[in-house]
A and B are shown apart, each in its own frame.
Chain A
Amino acid sequence: MTEMLKVTVDRRHPMAVIYTEGYINNQGGEEIARVAYDLIDDDHKVLLLNLQGTKIVNSIGISILIEIIEKMLEIDGRLAFCNLTPTIEKTFHIMGLAQYAKIYPDEGVAIGELSG
Chain B
Amino acid sequence: MASSAVLREVTLTLPMLPDMEIAASKTATALAEFMEMSSDKIDEVRMAVVEACINSFEHSQADDRKVEIQFVVLGNEEPERLQITIRDSGVGFTPENLVKPTIEDKLKAASKRGWGLTIIKGLMDEVDIHSGPSGTTVVMSKLR
Contact = CB atoms under 8 A, between A and B. Distances in A.
Nearest to A70: B107
A59 B103 CA distance: 13
A73 interface: yes
A56 B45 CA distance: 11
Nearest to A94: B122
A91 B106 contact: no
Given A59-B115, A60-B113, A1 B23 contact: yes
A67 B43 contact: no
The A contact surface, by secondary structure, is helix
Given A1-B19, A66-B107, A69-B107, A96 B102 contact: yes
Contact of B51 (A58, A66, A90, A97): A58
Nearest to A67: B112
A37 B107 CA distance: 17
Interface residues of A, number: 29
A17 B112 CA distance: 24
Contacts of B46: 56, 87
Contacts of B122: 90-91, 94
A94 B121 CA distance: 10
Interface string A83-116: 0011100110011110110000000000000000
Given A56-B25, A56-B50, A66-B112, A99 B103 contact: yes
B59 to A, nearest CB: 12
Contacts of A67: 112
Interface in B41-57: 43-44, 46-47, 50-51, 54
Interface of A: 1-2, 23, 25, 55-60, 62-64, 66-67, 69-70, 73, 85-87, 90-91, 94-97, 99-100
Interface of B: 18-23, 25, 40, 43-44, 46-47, 50-51, 54, 101-104, 106-107, 111-113, 115-116, 118-119, 122-123
7 smallest beta-carbon distances between A and B, as pairs: A96-B103, A94-B122, A87-B43, A63-B112, A59-B115, A66-B112, A1-B19
